[in-house]
Structure 1
Amino acid sequence: MPFGTFFWGAGRGGKSGGIPWRSADRSFTSRTEGRPVLVALARKLGSWFLPPHSTQNASIPICNKLVTYSTPIFLLLRGVSAFRHELVCAPMAPRIVVAVDFGTTRSAWAYKVGDDEPDDKTDDKIFVRIPGGVGPAPSARTKTETAALINRRGRGELVAFGQAALERHAENTATAGGDPSDASEALFKWYKTTLFKPKPGENTVERVTATSTSGDVVPLLGVMTATLRYFKKDAVGFLSSLTGRTIRARDVNWVLTVPAVYDDFAKHFMRQAAHEAGMIDKVGSTNLRLCLEPEAACLAVIPRGANNPLTCEAEGKKMMIVDCGGGTVDITTHNIVTIDPLNVVEVAAPTGGAWGSTQVDEAFKKWLQRFLGDWYDKIAKTEILLSIMEFWERKKAAFDGHESAEPVRLNLSALGQRQMMDSHDLEDLRTRYNRGESRRNRVEGKGYMVILPTTLVTSFFTPTLDSIARCLRGIKGGSALRNLHRVFVVGGFSRCPLLMQVVRAELQNASCRVVEVSEPDIAIVRGAVKYFDESAVFNSRRARLTYGASVLHAFDEKNAEHRRRRDAGETLKYDDRDEVMVDGCFFPHIRIGENVPTNGVTSRENYTPVSLENETNCIQVYASSARDPAFVDEDSCFMLGKISFPLDMTKKTRQERAYRVEFTFGGPELTVKILHRTEEKQIADAVMTLSRVPKSYDGISGGLWQS
Structure 2
Amino acid sequence: MHFLTFKIVEDYDCFGAIYLFSYIISSMSSLVVVAINIGTTHSGYAFSTRHDYMRDHQKISIPAWPSYSGLCPPLTSSCILFDAAGDFHSFGFEAEEKYADLTLENKHQDWYYFKMICEKMEPTLGSLTEDDKGKKMESIKVFAGAILYLKSHFLKTLAQRMYAIDISDISWVLTVPAIWNDSSKLFATEAAKEAGISKDKLFIVREPEAASWTCMRIPNEEKCESSSFEGLISGSKYIVVNVGDPRTDITFHEVQGDGTLKDLCQAQDNHQGGNNLVSSFMNLISDLLGNDVISAFNSEYKFDSQELQNDFKIRMKAMKPDCVDNITFRVPMSLIEIICKFNPNKEKVLTLDARFKEQATVIGNKLRINAELLKTVFDKSYERTFRDVHQLLRHPSMRGITSILLVGEFAVYPMLHKVVKQIFPDKRVIVPPNPDFAVLKGAVIYGHFFN
Taking structure 1 as the reference length, what is the TM-score of the superposition?
0.51
Matched, 1:492 2:409: yes
Aligned to 2:217, which of 290, 300, 303? 303
SS of 2:40's equivalent? coil
Matched, 1:406 2:326: yes
Deviation at 1:109, TM superposition (A): 0.9
Aligned residues of 1:320 and 1:488 also touching (Cα < 8 A)? yes
SS of 2:200's equivalent? coil
Aligned residues of 2:84 and 2:112 also touching (Cα < 8 A)? no
CA distance in 2, matches of 1:310, 1:343: 20
SS of 1:522's equivalent? helix
Deviation at 1:359, TM superposition (A): 1.6
Deviation at 1:241, TM superposition (A): 4.3
Aligned to 1:330, which of 244, 249, 267? 249
| Residue equivalent to 1:515 | 430
| Residue equivalent to 1:252 | 170
Residues 296-334 of structure 1: CA deviation (Å, up to 9, x unaligned):
111111217655886599654423322222233223333
CA distance in 2, matches of 1:530, 1:251: 16
Aligned residues of 1:105 and 1:189 also touching (Cα < 8 A)? yes
Deviation at 1:235, TM superposition (A): 1.4
| Residue equivalent to 1:477 | 394
SS of 2:386's equivalent? helix
| Residue equivalent to 2:446 | 531
SS of 1:444's equivalent? strand
SS of 2:204's equivalent? strand
CA distance in 1, matches of 2:250, 2:140: 27
Taking structure 2 as the reference length, what is the TM-score of the superposition?
0.76
| Residue equivalent to 1:235 | 154
SS of 1:278's equivalent? coil
Residues 643-662 of structure 1: CA deviation (Å, up to 9, x unaligned):
xxxxxxxxxxxxxxxxxxxx
Deviation at 1:501, TM superposition (A): 1.4
CA distance in 1, matches of 2:172, 2:193: 11
Matched, 1:262 2:180: yes
Aligned to 1:461, which of 378, 399, 407? 378
Aligned residues of 1:191 and 1:210 also touching (Cα < 8 A)? no
In the superposition, relative to structure 1, how do residues 239 and 336 fare at CA in structure 2: closer, same or farther (>3 Å)?
Answer: same
Aligned residues of 1:97 and 1:111 also touching (Cα < 8 A)? yes
| Residue equivalent to 1:122 | 56
Matched to 1:514, the amino acid is V
Aligned residues of 2:349 and 2:364 also touching (Cα < 8 A)? no
Matched to 1:108, the amino acid is G
Q: What does 1:19-98 correspond to in 2, within 5 Å?
A: 95-98=31-34
Aligned residues of 2:326 and 2:369 also touching (Cα < 8 A)? no
CA distance in 2, matches of 1:133, 1:113: 27
| Residue equivalent to 1:290 | 204
Query: In proportion to residue count, which structure has more helix?
Result: 2
Matched to 2:404, the amino acid is V
Residues 14-48 of structure 1: CA deviation (Å, up to 9, x unaligned):
xxxxxxxxxxxxxxxxxxxxxxxxxxxxxxxxxxx
In the superposition, relative to structure 1, how do residues 205 and 414 fare at CA in structure 2: closer, same or farther (>3 Å)?
Answer: farther
Q: What does 1:373-412 correspond to in 2, within 5 Å?
A: 373=292, 376-377=295-296, 380-382=299-301, 383-400=303-320, 404-412=324-332
Deviation at 1:132, TM superposition (A): 7.3
Matched to 2:428, the amino acid is R
| Residue equivalent to 1:541 | none
| Residue equivalent to 2:15 | none
SS of 1:279's equivalent? coil
Residues 89-138 of structure 1: CA deviation (Å, up to 9, x unaligned):
xx999632110122222222111223678xx463155322246799xxxx
Give the number of the structure with larger relative contact order, counting CA–CA contacts within 8 Å between residues 6 or more apart: 2
Deviation at 1:256, TM superposition (A): 0.9
In the superposition, relative to structure 1, how do residues 205 and 387 fare at CA in structure 2: closer, same or farther (>3 Å)?
Answer: same
Deviation at 1:514, TM superposition (A): 1.4
| Residue equivalent to 2:116 | 190
In the superposition, relative to structure 1, how do residues 264 and 373 fare at CA in structure 2: closer, same or farther (>3 Å)?
Answer: farther
CA distance in 2, matches of 1:462, 1:209: 33
Aligned residues of 1:253 and 1:287 also touching (Cα < 8 A)? yes
Residues 400-421 of structure 1: CA deviation (Å, up to 9, x unaligned):
4657232453413233579975
CA RMSD of aligned residues (A): 4.0
Aligned residues of 1:211 and 1:217 also touching (Cα < 8 A)? yes
The structure with more radius of gyration: 1
Matched to 2:63, the amino acid is R
Deviation at 1:373, TM superposition (A): 0.3
CA distance in 1, matches of 2:407, 2:381: 17
Matched, 1:345 2:262: yes
Residues 335-370 of structure 1: CA deviation (Å, up to 9, x unaligned):
3445xx745433333324223211212333445566
Matched to 2:32, the amino acid is I
Percent identity at matched positions? 20
CA distance in 2, matches of 1:348, 1:149: 34
Deviation at 1:526, TM superposition (A): 1.0
SS of 1:332's equivalent? strand
SS of 2:205's equivalent? strand
Residues 123-176 of structure 1: CA deviation (Å, up to 9, x unaligned):
155322246799xxxxx9x532324251432333232423x44445555555x2
| Residue equivalent to 1:209 | 129
In the superposition, relative to structure 1, how do residues 307 and 224 fare at CA in structure 2: closer, same or farther (>3 Å)?
Answer: same
Aligned residues of 1:298 and 1:527 also touching (Cα < 8 A)? yes
Matched, 1:100 2:36: yes
Unaligned runs of 5+ in 2: 1-26, 223-227
CA distance in 1, matches of 2:159, 2:253: 39
| Residue equivalent to 2:74 | 143
Matched to 1:527, the amino acid is G
In the superposition, relative to structure 1, how do residues 313 and 150 fare at CA in structure 2: closer, same or farther (>3 Å)?
Answer: closer
CA distance in 1, matches of 2:216, 2:346: 51
Aligned residues of 2:245 and 2:409 also touching (Cα < 8 A)? yes
Q: How many residues align?
A: 413
Unaligned runs of 5+ in 1: 1-90, 135-139, 197-202, 537-707
Aligned to 1:109, which of 45, 53, 57? 45
